[in-house]
Chain A
Amino acid sequence: MSILQGRKFTWDKGVMLLLVVTAIVGSFVTPYFATSSNLSFVIQDIAEIMLIALPMTFLIIAGEIDLSVASALSLVSSTIGILFRHGWPFGWAIVVGLIVGALCGALNGFLVTILGLQSLAVTIGTLALFRGLCFVLLGNQPVNKLPTSWTNLGYNSIPHTFLPYSFILLVIFGALAWVLLHYTRLGRWTFAVGINVEAAKFSGIPVRRLKFALFTVTGLMSGIAGVVYTLRFASASPDSASGYELGVIAAVLFGGVSIAGGIGTLWGVLAAVLELGVIRSVLQLIDVSANALLIVSGALLLISVAVPRAIEILRNRRELITP
């Protein structure tokens, strides 16, 4: 108990607690949940969302948003597909795809930081643009016959384990993002910009360069998620991952990151993405329809913002009555 005393209960800890509870309840409710094949499936299932949620956490903490991530993912996938169809070696197609992803992010960064446009509006525009370019590249025909030596990476497990290969990416990038956000100057800058952009400017933080870099990295990570997606489904199609953007943002916000900027932890986001994946898995295993998941994720998102605010309002009221 002494550990808990003196520590403020915050939302991200609540999400972690919820994750543990869900996992325990899940393994009691259905014997299939805590199996290695199911856990492997859960990790594969959340990989793309998690990879994009990492840089999105930085962006939202810095007071910006990127709605074009799913379209960028799809554009990278389409680029890889079209290059491969034209006879490029698959490895080089991936390299070009990742460059395209970074360029997508850089375009957002340019529009927001150099032209000074609102990221919410701009990225709705690039969402349509990138998705549109997917159709320009591929038309209506997905590229399906990808080399199995590559697609096996999206399908098989790491030898001698039950973990999918995407797990390696999650660990590396998760750890990197965690260290960057909470233990480096760049992370402190991100928070400072989100709390008060004017004050950040006056204290010498290169706000524009920082935001430009964050957008570019978000594009690049969407590209990496695009590669994972392409390998996992062994297909590059123009309508990949449509609607994922709101899923990513919902997960980040559910993880306790404030949409107003300046507040959030990486642990909260990681736990939130995992929690949503675990809930989905448990609901599927006990044969509850996918619709319930929509309702649950929406309700969790609403609760995650409403409950802390309600507590805050009640606390303030009490202080007003008894000063």
Chain B
Amino acid sequence: MRALVDRVTAIREVPVFIALVLVVVVTGIANPQFLSASGAQDIFLGVAVVATLAVGQSVIIVMRHVDLSVGSTAGFAAYLIGNESARNHGLIYCLLVALALGLAVGAVNGLLVAYLKLPSLVVTLGSMYVVRGIFNQIAAGNTINDSQAPKFLGFVGRNSIAHIPDLFIFAAILAFIVSLIMHSARSARDLYAMGSNPPASALVGIPVARRTFFAFLASGAVSGIAGAVLLSRFHSADANSGLGLELNVIAACVVGGVAIAGGVGTPYGALIGALLLQSITLALGALGVSQFWQQAVNGTLLISAISLDRYLSSRIKPTTIMRVSS
């Protein structure tokens, strides 16, 4: 049974990974520059923010929920870190402020979704606006520049280990840890049960409200931390930071095999999904396709991924049920 579950979950990430390898190899053959160290760095660095957020979002989507407030929260957190740093506060203090912001937004979302049983799409759409509004009010046209941002974050944003940018290594470690938790911890397994069948999971005694609350808290915390990634990636932050990021993040999750209907997918799958979208964007450039095609191709890819997933799951599902019941 365990092996079966492992096998079925493994299948979901494999095609995405193969697609990623194909894109990289084919583009690399056509334009060797793409496979150079700087080409790889572009992909890894470009994906860091979305990948970090996608790891947090995957936990939410697995429960058949969605968190639209992540872009606003990450942008606000980035600004706060720079703002506090400009007032000569230490790095740890700045990061704690960002984390506190993320936890606060996550707690509000969690309370409303888990205990008032409100639809997460509506709640997080509302909190997305409120957070963005407060953020813009505070930022009011100011820009945090490189000299105001904590020196450490500026350094991390530029540094790489073995040609892999630190920021991507951070996102990968986060994905690894969260995947491990989602794979092994019982409370996290509950999230999969809640996503595949909400009423049944309540009936078998899963504390649905508490689990939902803490998952949103976790998503908020990740968004706060993603603020630090955002600031170190762009070396600046202003009222538009993180604008519209939420839909890219959800797209990365869906392409990475985290089904929007809940119950399946992994955080590392979301990371691979983010990598695939980013490498296709850059591959188009390397292949000499006009940059204007990038978004259209990404959209088509997302639609194809969902269609393919639907097609595959319609073939796999009956056998799974039979095997489980036998």
Contacts and interface: CB of A to CB of B under 8 A. Distances in A.
Interface string B135-151: 01100100000000000
A243 B247 CA distance: 11
Contact of B300 (A117, A129, A290): A129
B129 interface: yes
Interface string A33-72: 0000000000000000000000000000000010100000
Given A259-B119, A305-B118, A117 B310 contact: yes
A306 B130 contact: no
A53 to B, nearest CB: 15
B126 A301 contact: yes
What interface size band does chain B fall in? 35 or more
Contacts of A294: 129-130, 132-133, 136
Interface residues of A, number: 50
B133 A298 contact: yes
Interface stretch (B14-22, B263-271, B301-309): B301-309
A122 B125 contact: no
A67 B131 CA distance: 21
Interface string A113-147: 00111101110111111111101100110000000
A128 B251 contact: yes
A299 interface: yes
B283 interface: no
Contacts of A291: 133-134, 136-137, 140
B244 A135 contact: no
Contacts of B294: 132
B131 to A, nearest CB: 8
Residue of A259, A291, A305 most packed against chain B (CB within 10 A): A291
Nearest to B138: A291
A250 interface: yes
B112 A302 contact: yes
Nearest to A119: B260
Contacts of B261: 118
Nearest to B302: A125
A132 B132 contact: no
Contact of B299 (A130, A140, A246, A260): A130
Contact of A298 (B66, B112, B126, B243): B126
B241 interface: no
Interface of A: 65, 67, 111, 115-118, 120-122, 124-133, 135-136, 139-140, 242-243, 246, 249-250, 253, 259-260, 289-299, 301-302, 305-306, 309-310, 313
18 contacts: A117-B306, A120-B260, A125-B299, A127-B299, A128-B251, A128-B296, A131-B299, A132-B292, A132-B296, A135-B293, A136-B296, A139-B292, A140-B292, A294-B129, A294-B136, A301-B125, A305-B122, A305-B123
Given A125-B300, A126-B303, 18 more contacts: A124-B247, A124-B302, A129-B300, A132-B295, A132-B299, A135-B296, A136-B290, A249-B125, A259-B119, A259-B121, A291-B137, A291-B140, A294-B133, A295-B130, A296-B133, A298-B130, A302-B123, A302-B127
